[in-house]
Amino acid sequence: MSNILAIDTAPVFLPLLQPARYKGAHGGRGSAKSNFFADLWLEENVQAKYDFVCLRETLKSLEFSVKKLFESKITHFNAGAYFEVQDRRILTKHGGVTIFEGMQNHTSESIKSLDGFDRAFFEEAQNASEKSLTLLRPTIRKPGSELWFAWNPDKETDPIDKLLRGPELPPGAIVVQANYMDNPWLPDELRAEMEYDRRRDPDKYAHVWLGEYQRNSEARVFRNWEIKEFDAPPDAIHRLGADWGFSIDPSVLVRCHIVGQKLYVDYEAYQVGCEIVDLPSLFLTVPEAEKWAMTADSARPETISHMRKNGFPKIYPAVKGARSVEEGIEFLRSFDIVVHPRCKHTIDELTLYSYETDPLTGKVIPKLSDKDNHVIDSLRYACEGARRAGTNKPIPKAPVHTSWMG
């Protein structure tokens, strides 16, 4: 990040290093969002004069502010010569000041005290009220000034989410999503906590660690699954399914097999931005992928042709039609699904994949959401042959959604 301090920056935060009126980072625990902004605060103050105000919606004590984090950064990077840490503020060598306040206490008159500040950093911004954002935005108006926000999403209707995750971002906004998997320095202790929640409480894992909105648990599509280590039996008939991505979506391959009423998922390949020439290498990370029949998204016949010519002669297009998605999902739900722990993206999507909910009432709508479904689609394709043949098809497990009945 800085030539003076040699601060390392996780790739997910690199877009926020460029000047921008709004800088936002949202996501789950362990993503190091606050640490990134603390590093950026340190770098800017070492290089030049900046006046910062660090905010929370409610600040009862400086103990709950980001001040201690800033102090730890000063110590860690041996930057004490650039700062004078006082009880309630931090002064800089270049004449800047950093103060810490609660927005809830401000009025249209008192907020004027922040006029002329260069930066405002709003931590825990999921708690920011509409009034606070309305007061803050026009107050920090100095040329080149910036507004920084870090938050763990709670509800889609929260003011900060409407502002920085809505259909139209304000001018000059850069917003990134960051979660624990984006943190190269995630402590082992925190990873163990994450793994525990992922195994025991999928809804908590999705909200706390993946930064998803609080969900109505009734909206989850898959409940019939578990994470468990296993080895595929020697006589297993492996089923492979592929979904294509290339740009912002991932290219995915999954391997699974069926035993009775259980569907075992033991390997996955997953990469965002994978070029077509690199797909064979990606898919070969799944053992024996070239030996077994593979069903792939039929939307890209040229990709299927390329893969067939480059080591995957048994790849075939999926058959799509009316309700093929719904029928494929119901077939998957008819099994008890066992996922190997190494299939992390499969675990994430089984956790997150949901039915839509009415934004006004919160009631579940019997319509599948078109997101968090790239691995799910691959699983559907992998099991398409078994579904059409009626292989091991138990009685479907109907979703328990009494709210659908009104």
Distance from C-alpha of 318 to C-alpha of 144, rounded to nearest angstrom: 52
Distance from C-alpha of 319 to C-alpha of 147, rounded to nearest angstrom: 49
Whether 403 has a pLDDT exceeding 60, the answer reads no
- The pLDDT of 159-177, averaged and rounded, is 96
pLDDT at 323: 86
Name the band, by pLDDT with cuts 50, 70 and 90, for residue 80. very high
Name the band, by pLDDT with cuts 50, 70 and 90, for residue 357. confident
pLDDT at 397: 40
Whether 385 has a pLDDT exceeding 50, the answer reads yes
pLDDT at 152: 96
The CA-based angle 27-111-97, given to 5 degrees, is: 75
Q: What percent of the chain has pLDDT over 70?
A: 94
Locate 254 and state its tokens: 């999954």
Name the band, by pLDDT with cuts 50, 70 and 90, for residue 203. confident
Whether 196 has a pLDDT exceeding 90, the answer reads no
Report the sign of the C-alpha dihedral through residues 280, 282, 288, 292, in that order: negative
Exposure string over 265-293, b if 16+ CB within 10 A, otherwise e: bbbbbbbeebeeeebbebbeebeebbebe
- The pLDDT of 137-144, averaged and rounded, is 97
Q: What percent of the chain has pLDDT over 90?
A: 75
Distance from C-alpha of 328 to C-alpha of 334, rounded to nearest angstrom: 10
Whether 362 has a pLDDT exceeding 80, the answer reads no
One-letter amino acid for residue 212 of the chain:
E
Domains of the chain (ranges, CATH numbers): 11-182 (3.40.50.300), 215-391 (3.30.420.280)
Whether 149 has a pLDDT exceeding 80, the answer reads yes
pLDDT at 1: 55
SS3 content of the chain, % helix, strand, coil (to 5): 35, 20, 40
pLDDT at 3: 53
Residue 237 burial (10 A CB sphere; 0-12, 13-18, 19+) = middle
Residue 182 burial (10 A CB sphere; 0-12, 13-18, 19+) = buried
Tell me whether strands 262-272 and 250-259 are parallel, antiparallel or unpaired.
antiparallel
Whether 175 has a pLDDT exceeding 70, the answer reads yes
Locate 220 and state its tokens: 């989850």
pLDDT at 216: 63
- The pLDDT of 99-104, averaged and rounded, is 94
pLDDT at 4: 67
pLDDT at 214: 78
Q: 304 or 361: which carries more pLDDT confidence?
A: 304
Whether 393 has a pLDDT exceeding 60, the answer reads no
φ/ψ of residue 262, rounded to 5: -115, 140
- The pLDDT of 221-235, averaged and rounded, is 90
Whether 81 has a pLDDT exceeding 60, the answer reads yes
- The pLDDT of 348-372, averaged and rounded, is 84
| Range in 241-250, 329-338, 354-363, 375-384 with the lowest mean pLDDT | 354-363
Whether 378 has a pLDDT exceeding 50, the answer reads yes
Name the band, by pLDDT with cuts 50, 70 and 90, for residue 36. very high
CA 227 to centroid of chain Cα atoms: 20
For all residues of the chain together, what is the average pLDDT? 90
φ/ψ of residue 84, rounded to 5: -125, 105
Whether 54 has a pLDDT exceeding 80, the answer reads yes
Whether 177 has a pLDDT exceeding 50, the answer reads yes
pLDDT at 398: 35
